[in-house]
Each structure stands twice: as structure tokens, then as C-alpha cells.
Amino acid sequence: MEKDFIGIDEDILAERKRAKRREQGVALVILSPFVIIFVLFCVVPFIMGFAYSFMRYDPYNSDYTAFIGFKNYSNLFNTDINVSKQFWESFGPMLVFDLVAVPLLMIIPFILAYFINMRPPCYKFFRACIYLPCVVSISILGIMFGEMFAGDETGLINSWFGTNIDWLGGKPFENDILRWIIILIATIWWQTGANFVIFSGALRDIPKSLYEACEMDGGGRWQSVIRVTIPNMRPAINITLFNTLIGFLSLYGQPYVLNTLENQDIFVSPMMFIQSYLSNGLAYAKQTGYLCASAIIFGLIIMVISFVERRVMEERHPTAKHVAAYKRYCDFRTQRLEPAKGESK
């Protein structure tokens, strides 16, 4: 940069330098609130958590504190210890649930957004209905679905069908498939709105001309979805997929509120495991380091999964480029209104 100014008056140079320094100062002032909060509430606790995971640490007794190397981690990976077994077992139900729930929470909002985009009568009402559950808090969701699917005759669904099914009972991988279906329904009910809103915004902004071009190519509805809609919504899909995935890996609220006595103490997600031991009486305080280690391992697993997800989504970038080319080509053609020869399929 400075090279450009060679030969210019010294004063101007100094003036610019001062301006630069001033800008530096302004930037520092502007950034400082974010940085301070970020360091205090994220960075420091993170490093502390990392440190604790290598320590025998009891928040109420400093005499107990000692550096013990990888002991916490070796305990965590030793499945002979029942608690460690619980930790690893808690991944199972969560992962299976995510495998089903994440795709559904992409597809269902997409379908609904697609229909909303057709602007049927009272679409604004429908839109509000679909988004509404997002502002219902998880505990109220628990009250509603818990009572609807209550295990005895007092539940809405049981009394509608005259059954006596224990919807929310059972144990993971044994007989609690119904419970997970209910949790899935409740989750779809609760979380569809968030993705739906983003999708419908993205859908609305796809130029009509692209569809028309596709139609002229002889592409049906299905083809227009594949070739125009989805590629053009890629940014929106990327964001929602990432958010949904990360959110569901930390599954906690739904199983916490939808359970019965029989399975309320069984951890079905690592988040439940950590949360339940973290603040549950003095009896657990001696193993705070162990709990920090389990949080770090869980965090690492989330990191790996989200990294893989991003990698997979990135690899399709060439396709996105292709789509951009296709889009330009379509724009060009819709303007000229003449089919290009030899190029159309």
C-alpha cells in the first residue's frame, strides 16, 4: 500500500498514518464488548474445563484438587464402570433419533414452504399456524404431549381409540419405540416452524423466470424442484442443516419432559448425562473432573460430526457452480425467448 504514496508529501503521509492509527483505535473500542464477553464467557470456561478434565477436582474442597493426567479419560473409556457405560450407551438412542429426525426436519419444512409459496387462500394464516409452535417452550410441550399420550385411560389418544397403551414407557432398544415416535412427532410439531420460515423466504426469492425456463425445457414439476428450487436454496439449506444437526446432537429437552417413571433415570443423550450429574448434590462433586472429561469427549464427537457434515456439503460446490452456469444460461434464454439448439437435453 505504502508504495503508492512514494513521492507524495510527507505531511499527507503522516496524516494518513494518523488516520490509520485512529481507525485502529476505533476498531479496538468497537470490538472490545464482543471480545470481553466472548473471552469471559466462552474462552476462559473452555480452558478451565480442559484443565479440570486432567485434574481431580472438587469445587468444595481444594485439598482434594490434584493433577492426575489422563485418569479421568481412562475412567471414561473403561466401560466396566457403570457410569461410563451409561455415558456411551446414551449416544445410541440420540444418534438413531437424529438419523431419522434431521432429514425429516429438512423435508417436512421444505414441503410446507413449497406449498406456502403457491400462495393458496389464507396462506398467511397457515404460515402463522406452522410457525406458532416455535415460541412454545419445551416444558409446555411436555405438558401437552405428556397429557395427550398419557399411559392410562386419561390420555387423549388412548381415550380416542379406547386403548390402554403406555406410550411413553419402555427402555432404549428394548421396547420404547413408541416413546421415540412420540418424541419425533413432538419435535416435528415444535421445530418445523424455524426451518420452514427460512425455506419459505428462500423460495420466494427464486426468480419466476427460472421456473418458466425449466418448463420450456419440458421439465415437469419434479424436475423444476430438483434443478431450480433446490440448487437455488443451497445457502438456506446449508444453514438449516447445520443448525438442525448441531441442535439435535445436543438433544436434551424432549426426552427430559417426555418420560415415565420407568425410564426417567435412563440417559438417552449425552447431554442428559452431563446435565443430570453436574448439579445434583454433593455426592457427585468429587468427580467434576470426570464430568468435564465426558463433556470434552462429547464435544469432540460433535465437532467431528459437524466437520464431516460441512465437508460433505462443500464437496457439492462444483455442482453449485454448474447450477450458477445453468442459471445464467436460463436468464439469457428467457430474455431472448429462443431455445438454444443442441444444448437442451
Question: The cell 479440570 sits on which residue?
Answer: 52
Which residue(s) pair with 67 in the sheet?
A: 55
Please identify, using beta-carbon distances, which residue of 3 and 341 lies nearer to other proteins.
3
The nearer residue to other proteins, 234 or 331, going by C-beta atoms, is: 234
Instruction: Pick the closer one to other proteins by CB: 33 or 341.
Output: 33
> Shortest distance, CB of residue 308 to other proteins, whole angstroms?
12
**Closest distance of CB 236 from other proteins, Å:** 5
> Which C-beta is closer to other proteins: that of 14 or that of 300?
300
Q: How many Å apart are CA 295 and CA 275, to the nearest integer?
A: 10
Nearer to other proteins, 178 or 302 (CB): 302
Least distance to other proteins, CB of residue 193, Å: 8
Bridge partners (DSSP) listed for residue 66? 56
Give the angle 86-92-93 at the CA atoms, nearest 5°. Answer: 100
The rounded distance, in Å, linking the Cα atoms of 106 and 111 is 9
Distance between CA atoms of residues 287 and 214, nearest Å = 62
Q: Name which of 162 and 342 has its Cβ closer to other proteins.
A: 162
Q: How far is the CB of 342 from other proteins (least distance, A)?
A: 27
Q: How far is the CB of 341 from other proteins (least distance, A)?
A: 25
Taking the least distance from each CB to other proteins, the nearer of 106 and 144 is: 144
Long-range contacts from 57-64, C-beta under 8 angstroms, 24+ separation: 57/288, 57/289, 57/292, 58/285, 58/286, 58/288, 59/285, 59/288, 60/282, 60/285, 61/285, 64/286
Angle CA 29–32–36, to nearest 5: 160
DSSP 256-295: HHS--TTTTTS--SHHHHHHHHHTS-GGGGGGHHHHHHHH
Least distance to other proteins, CB of residue 96, Å? 20
Contacting residues for 318 by C-beta, under 8 A, at least 6 apart: none
For the bound state, the minimum distance from the C-beta of residue 165 to other proteins, rounded and expressed in Å, comes to 11
Pure H helices in 205-262:
208-216, 221-224, 230-232, 234-249, 253-257
CB of 325 to other proteins, least distance (A): 19
For residues 194 and 343, which CB has a smaller minimum distance to other proteins in the complex?
194
Rg value, the chain, Cα: 27
